[in-house]
Amino acid sequence: MSDWESKQKQFIKDILAGDEEAAVSMARTSLEEGATPVEFFENCIAPSLQDVGKRFETLDIFLPEMVTAADTVEKVNSEVIKPAVAESQAGESMSLGKVLLATVQGDLHDIGKNMVGLMLKVNGFEVVDLGTNVPPADIVARAEQEQVDIIGMSALLTTCLPYMKDVCDFLEGKGIRDKYPVIIGGAATHPEIAEEMGANTHGGSAAEGVEKCKMLLGKL
Amino acid sequence: MPAEVKTVLQGRLERFNNALQLKSTDRVLVGPCSDHFFSAKLAGISNKDAMLEHDKRYKAMKDVVLRFDFDIALQSGVYPAQWYSILGARHYKWPGGNLPEDKTFQFVEKEYLLADEYDQFLANPNDFTMRVLWPRMTEGLAPLEQLPPFYSIGPDPIFLGPAFATPENLAMLEKLKLLAEASVDSMQAEGDYIAEMEELGYPVSYGANFTPPFDLVADFLRGLRGTMVDMYRAPDKLLAAVDLYVEPQIEAAIAWAEAVNNPRIFFWLHKGAAGFMSDEHYQKFYWPSLRQVVLALVEGGLTPILHVQGDYTPRLPYLAELPRGKVPIHYDRIDRQDAMEIMGDRQCFWGGVSSALLSTGAPDQVEDDVKELIDIFAPHGGLIVDGSVGIPDEARPENVEAMVDAVHQSIGA
């Protein structure tokens, strides 16, 4: 077993148990031993999170474990990786892409959206989460402001579907439709609706949403 | 009440109770547990008005029961808009308040209790609820934050006067008075509806309704994310908070059932479904407190009805532990064969027709679905056909008709 493999095994254990101290300490030690922050991210954090994501998909683990793992990694990133990257000025991007997520106007349901956000994060995406009940104009404005790579929208209530279409229409009207691939999901949606409203694709589950985002950015 | 109506009512109630208790019935029943806005929609009333004008809402509900010839009268699943608006609720959004008129009301879930406040909450839940939680959840109760703990005012109650003597507190007391008056109005309207339905021969589905202890904490205190993390970071505190609600809930449920003279108490279970947590965590965090409440109510001669939201198939063995025929289960999504095998001779099966099918399917699809339910569960008795969460707001009336027809056809078969 290579050094990275054994580290990864332990790292998975630590993040699933929510052991921030152990996970942060491993990252610090690895960097002190000569690994660059990007190396630690690519060889330990990213594969560990992918493993966590896969286990969640197969119901080997559940929401508490995935939330705790993501939370613990957030701590490692903020306390060790990000400061080290800033210091070394490596400037290398560790993100697969930036995804804007929002539950559309009129709808406050966010369990599904949050699960997608978590799954995207554990798979290496950067997520800009606008929360719930977000008007179409705000979604478009923030996409521009944040220069995201994908716009993701969720709705549980069928009465809120028109707001998703409004976003596609706004993008079209502003002449920036091609700049932002749009993915929709949530209990009120299905692939045919996505096609009808002019979205690029539909995610039927958190895992499928991640795959579709990778596909949209040509990362599959 | 005329004797013939009394006979009809008693007949319906007996059939309903027999089905709930898994005793044999002369036929399968069809009856929604509750209604949000389906009735209002059918009556051409906006969601906003349905929440504001109780008489209109209950009239619409009565019309729906009569139009579709249900076996029971549905209960309202909507709280009055006045309750939210008077308090300036931040933890809800509602049509005509801070949502458009045609939307449904929704809960704003967040961490109202922060992770590092558990000790403070557990040490004095009364004080924390009053002076921290409620001011966070509502604008109208924000002045409570400025009040000192009551005991610190001293043992002499005359000093409550000076403690409340600010314009902010006087305005708050006025709001509480308005809230109580609004509650009297809405409770009167509900009482009138129940009496009217009984005079028409229909027993109402349930009286009181509750959220189980774990969901109370996960919904109203820590939010989903906070609760999930607490299972690892603060398991003992999470459990202590959940347990805190057990005894008060038992007492409140008994009192409420007595007040409305209805032994049927509805529980809305949502965060224990498959996918939310492992079996081990369910066993540790979710089930014990719920089981304790349910058993205490059964012991008290009441009928707790568990509406299990989401896919509850993996939790069926837990439900099967409950005393036979005493705890009807209202199902959302479930593997029907598993439910039959594990629960068929344990508890009544209520619900089960998917909201999606009722909202977007065709009548013949609904009919086929109901026939399948009848084929599987009717031979054992204790089947009450209903939508998976009552009748969804967007249900097509012809699909609701098809659901009822399928049951009625089975009677003649």
Q: Which of B91, B111, B231 to mutate to test the interface with A (most CBs of A within 10 A)?
A: B231
Q: How confident is the model at residue A42, as a pLDDT?
A: 80
State the distance between the two ends of chain A, measured CA to CA, in whole angstroms. 27
- Distance between CA atoms of residues B374 and B383, nearest Å: 8
pLDDT of B143-168, one tens digit each? 999 999 999 999 999 999 999 999 99
Neighbours of B236 (CB within 10 A): 10
For B182-220, how does the pLDDT look when each residue is reduced to its tens digit (9 = 90+)? Answer: 999 999 999 999 999 999 999 999 999 999 999 999 999
Chain B nearest C-alpha distance from A23 (Å): 15
Residues of A in contact with B93 (CB under 8 A): 108, 133
Residue B275 pLDDT level (bands cut at 50, 70, 90): confident
Instruction: Report in angstroms the alpha-carbon separations of B51 from B17, B34, B212.
Output: 30, 15, 25
The percentage of residues in chain B with a pLDDT greater than 70, rounded to a whole number, is 100
| DSSP codes, B279-326 | HHHIIIIIHHHHHHHHHHHHHTT-EEEEEEEEE-GGGHHHHTTSPTTT
Give me the residues paired with residue A182 across strands. A151
The pLDDT value given to residue B384: 97
Classify A3-88 by CATH class: mainly alpha
**How far is it, in rounded angstroms, from Cα A8 to Cα A161?**
42
Hey, of A16, A58, A61, A62, which one would you mutate to test binding to chain B, going by the most B CBs within 10 A of its CB?
A62
For residues B120 and B128, the answer to whether their CB atoms sit within 8 Å is yes
pLDDT score for A87: 74
Q: What is the pLDDT of residues B16-61, one digit of tens each?
A: 999 999 998 989 999 999 999 999 999 999 999 999 999 999 999 9
pLDDT digits (tens, 9 = 90+) for A157-175: 877 888 999 999 999 999 9
Residues shown for chain B: 413
How far is C-alpha B269 from the chain's CA centre? 8
pLDDT of residue B209: 96
Mean pLDDT of all residues belonging to chain B: 95
Nearest residue of A to residue B100, measured between CA atoms: A106
**Element at B336 (helix H, strand E):** helix B336-343
User: Which residues of chain B make contact with A207, given a CB cutoff of 8 A?
Assistant: none
Long-range CB contact pairs, A161-169, < 8 A, 24+: A161/A188, A161/A189, A161/A193, A161/A197, A163/A104, A163/A105, A163/A106, A163/A135, A163/A136, A164/A104, A164/A189, A164/A197, A164/A199, A165/A197, A165/A198, A166/A136, A167/A104, A167/A136, A167/A139, A167/A140, A168/A197, A168/A198, A168/A199, A169/A198
User: How many CB atoms lie under 10 A from the CB of residue B4?
Assistant: 9
Mean pLDDT of B122-150: 97
Q: Residue B275: which of A62, A67, A133 has the nearest Cβ?
A: A62
Q: In the predicted model, is pLDDT for residue A9 greater than 60?
A: yes
pLDDT per residue over B358-379, tens digit each? 988 899 999 999 999 999 999 8
Q: The CATH number of A98-216 is which of 3.40.50.280, 3.40.50.620, 2.170.8.10, 3.40.50.300?
A: 3.40.50.280
Which residues in chain A are contacts of B239 at CB distance < 8 A? none
CA distance A119 to A113: 10
The predicted pLDDT at position A187 comes to 80
> Tell me, what's the pLDDT at A118?
79
Do residue B93 and residue A108 have CB atoms under 8 angstroms apart?
A: yes
Q: Contact, A35 vs A74, CB < 8 A?
A: no
Predicted pLDDT of residue A89: 54
Percentage above 90 pLDDT, chain B:
90
B66 DSSP assignment = H
Q: Helix or strand or coil: residue A145?
A: helix
What does the angle CA B332 – CA B334 – CA B337 come to, to the nearest 5 degrees? 145
Question: Rounded mean pLDDT of B303-322?
Answer: 96
For A78-135, the pLDDT digits (tens) are: 899 878 877 765 555 668 899 999 999 878 787 778 878 878 887 788 999 999 889 9
pLDDT band at B7 (very low <50, low <70, confident <90, very high): very high
Q: pLDDT exceeding 70 applies to what percent of chain A?
A: 96
Mean pLDDT confidence for A43-56: 86
Domain range list for chain B: 3-79+185-412
Report pLDDT for A21: 94
What does each C-alpha distance from B325 to B22, B34, B207, B314, B345 come to in angstroms? 5, 22, 19, 20, 8
Q: Which residue in B has a C-alpha nearest to residue A118's C-alpha?
A: B225
How many CB atoms sit inside 10 A of residue A139's CB? 27
What CA–CA distances, in Å, run from B92 to B89, B183, B322?
6, 17, 34
Question: For the domain B3-79+185-412, what is the CATH code?
Answer: 3.20.20.210
Q: Which residues pair with B351 in a beta bridge?
A: B331, B385
What is chain A's Cα-based Rg?
Answer: 18
Do residues A134 and A104 make contact, with C-beta atoms less than 8 angstroms apart?
A: yes
Query: Is B142's pLDDT higher than 80?
Result: yes
d(CA B343, CA B316) in angstroms, rounded, equals: 7
Instruction: Mark yes or no for CB contact A61/B278 under 8 Å.
Output: yes
The predicted-structure confidence for B171-183, as pLDDT tens digits, reads as follows 999 999 999 999 9
Domain positions in chain A = 3-88, 98-216
Q: Beta strand pairing status for B303-311 and B264-269? A: parallel
**Are A110 and B394 in contact (CB < 8 Å)?**
no
Q: Rounded CA gap, A96 and A124, in Å?
A: 6
What pLDDT score was predicted for residue A20? 93
Structure confidence at residue A54 as a pLDDT band (50, 70, 90): confident
In the predicted model, what is the mean pLDDT of residues A136-147? 94
Q: Any residues with CB less than 8 A from the CB of A73 and at least 6 apart, and which?
A: A15, A23, A45, A48, A49, A121, A122
